[in-house]
Amino acid sequence: MFQISAALQAGNSGGPVFDMNGQVIGIAIAKLNAAEVFKWTGDLPENVAYAVKAPYLQALLSAAPESVSKAGTLKPLRGATLEEPKRKSRPRGAKQL
């Protein structure tokens, strides 16, 4: 993991992080909670975010099971079904939402 200076917003997790040459060097995963840091230090940091380095992601993908194709689509797993899980009964007095 490494720190980057980027204005990440909700929904940016999983997005690519590029270097100055346009090469993907990582994937954005989190941003610093500036409000919490302000409570601790009195300083308000801006654009502090974190990413996972691309080589770690490459190793993870190469170790992924055969059920994940290179195109990113899922292949069926042996024994997998699409049945609904059995529901447990609600506690007495509980209402369904």
Do the domain assignments include residue 49? yes
Model pTM? 0.60
Do the domain assignments include residue 34? yes
Domain hosting 9: range is 2-62
pLDDT tens digits, one per residue of 1-43: 899 998 888 888 889 999 999 999 999 999 999 899 999 999 9
pLDDT higher at 90 or 38: 38
Do the domain assignments include residue 73? no
Do the domain assignments include residue 45? yes
What's the total number of domains in the chain?
1
Which of 32, 54, 52 minimizes the C-alpha distance to 43? 32
Distance between start and end Cα atoms, the chain = 40
CATH of the domain at 46: 2.40.10.10
Give the Cα separation of 92 and 36 in Å (integer).
Answer: 41
Q: Which two tokens stand for residue 30?
A: 């989190």
Of the chain, the percentage scoring pLDDT greater than 90 comes to 39
Residue 53 class from Cβ within 10 Å (0-12 exposed, 13-18 middle, 19+ buried)?
Answer: middle
Place of tokens 């939402």: 97
Do the domain assignments include residue 91? no
User: Largest alpha-carbon pair distance within the chain?
Assistant: 62
Do the domain assignments include residue 33? yes
